[in-house]
Structure 1
Amino acid sequence: MSGALVAIVLGLGWTISSQPTIASQASGTTAPPVPVAEVVVRRMAATARFTGHLEASHVVDIVPRVGGLLLSASVPEGGLVERGDVLFRIDPTPFAIRVAQARAGLDRAVALAEQAEREHARLALLSDSGTASRKALDAAMTDRARTAADVLAAKAALAEAELLNSYTEIRAPISGVADRIRIQPGNQVSAARGDVLTRILSTEALFVTFHIDEASFARLGPRGLADLRVEVDVAAEHGDAREGVLDFGGAEFDRSTGTLRLRAVVDNRDGRLKPGMFVRVLLPLTEASDAVLVAESAIHTAPGGRYVLVTDGTGTVVQKPVQIGAVEDGLRVVTDGLTAGERVILKGLVQPGMVVDPQPVSMPATHAGRKGDAS
Structure 2
Amino acid sequence: MTYRRATGFGLVITSAALTFVAAAALAQGAPPAPPVQVSAPLAKRVTNWDEYTGRFEASEQVEIRARVSGFLDSLHFRDGDLVKKGDLLFTIDPRPYRLSVDVSRADVARAKAQVELAQNEVERAEGLTQNRTITARDIDQRRANLNSAIGTLQGAEANLKTAELNLEWTQVRAPLAGRISNRRVDPGNLVAGGQSGATLLTTIVAVDPINFVFDASEADYLRYSRLTKDLRKVTSREEGSPAEVRLADEREWKRRGKIDFVDNALNARSGTIRGRAVFENKDQFLTPGTFGRLRLFAGEADALLVPDTVIVSDQASKIVLTIGPENKVVPKPVVLGQISGGLRVIREGLAPTDQVIIGGLANPMVRPGGTVTPQPGEIKPTGTN
**TM-score for the superposition, normalised by structure 1:** 0.80
Q: Return the alpha-carbon distance in structure 1 between the equivalents of residues 319 and 378 of structure 2.
A: 23
Q: Return the alpha-carbon distance in structure 2 between the equivalents of residues 127 and 341 of structure 1.
A: 116
User: Counterparts of 1:1-375 in structure 2 under 5 Å?
Assistant: 34-37=36-39, 39-192=41-194, 193-223=197-227, 226=237, 227-239=240-252, 241-284=254-297, 286-300=298-312, 306-309=319-322, 319=330, 321=332, 323-329=334-340, 330-338=342-350, 344-348=356-360, 356=373, 358-363=375-380
Change (3 A) 1:50 1:102: same
Change (3 A) 1:318 1:98: same
What letter is aligned with 1:84? G
Quick check: 1:311–1:358 contact (8 Å CA) kept in 2? Answer: no
Give the deviation of 1:15 after TM superposition: 5.2
Structure 2 partner of 1:27: none
Quick check: 1:127–1:133 contact (8 Å CA) kept in 2? Answer: yes
What is the count of residue pairs matched by the alignment? 349
Q: Return the alpha-carbon distance in structure 1 between the equivalents of residues 76 and 318 of structure 2.
A: 65
Map Cα deviations across residues 274-310 of structure 1 (whole Å, 9 max, x no partner).
Answer: 01111112234x3211222111333456799734425
Map Cα deviations across residues 231-266 of structure 1 (whole Å, 9 max, x no partner).
Answer: 211124444641232222233333333322222212
**TM-score for the superposition, normalised by structure 2:** 0.78
Q: Return the alpha-carbon distance in structure 2 between the equivalents of residues 298 and 136 of structure 1.
A: 108
Quick check: 1:59–1:201 contact (8 Å CA) kept in 2? Answer: yes
SS across alignment from 1:276: coil
Quick check: 1:69–1:91 contact (8 Å CA) kept in 2? Answer: yes
Give the deviation of 1:172 after TM superposition: 0.4
Gaps of 5+ in 2: 1-13, 229-233
What letter is aligned with 1:200? I
Could you say what the CA RMSD is over the residues aligned between the two structures, in angstroms?
A: 3.6
Gaps of 5+ in 1: 23-29
SS across alignment from 1:220: helix
Quick check: 2:35–2:372 contact (8 Å CA) kept in 1? Answer: no
Change (3 A) 1:308 1:104: same
SS across alignment from 2:207: strand
Give the deviation of 1:134 after TM superposition: 1.3
Map Cα deviations across residues 206-232 of structure 1 (whole Å, 9 max, x no partner).
Answer: 221122223433433513694332221
Structure 2 partner of 1:25: none
Greater Cα shift, 54-63 or 321-330:
321-330
What letter is aligned with 1:275? P
Q: Return the alpha-carbon distance in structure 2 between the equivalents of residues 300 and 234 of structure 1.
A: 26
Change (3 A) 1:301 1:52: closer
Structure 2 partner of 1:26: none
Q: Return the alpha-carbon distance in structure 1 between the equivalents of residues 109 and 267 of structure 2.
A: 64
Q: Return the alpha-carbon distance in structure 1 between the equivalents of residues 291 and 314 of structure 2.
A: 36
Quick check: 1:213–1:260 contact (8 Å CA) kept in 2? Answer: yes
Q: Return the alpha-carbon distance in structure 1 between the equivalents of residues 381 and 42 of structure 2.
A: 10
Give the deviation of 1:345 after TM superposition: 2.8
Q: Return the alpha-carbon distance in structure 1 between the equivalents of residues 291 and 179 of structure 2.
A: 19
Q: Return the alpha-carbon distance in structure 1 between the equivalents of residues 351 and 358 of structure 2.
A: 16
Greater Cα shift, 326-335 or 315-324:
315-324
SS across alignment from 1:287: strand
What letter is aligned with 1:257? S
Greater Cα shift, 200-209 or 257-266:
257-266
Quick check: 1:322–1:335 contact (8 Å CA) kept in 2? Answer: no
Q: Return the alpha-carbon distance in structure 2 between the equivalents of residues 258 and 236 of structure 1.
A: 30
Quick check: 1:250–1:261 contact (8 Å CA) kept in 2? Answer: yes
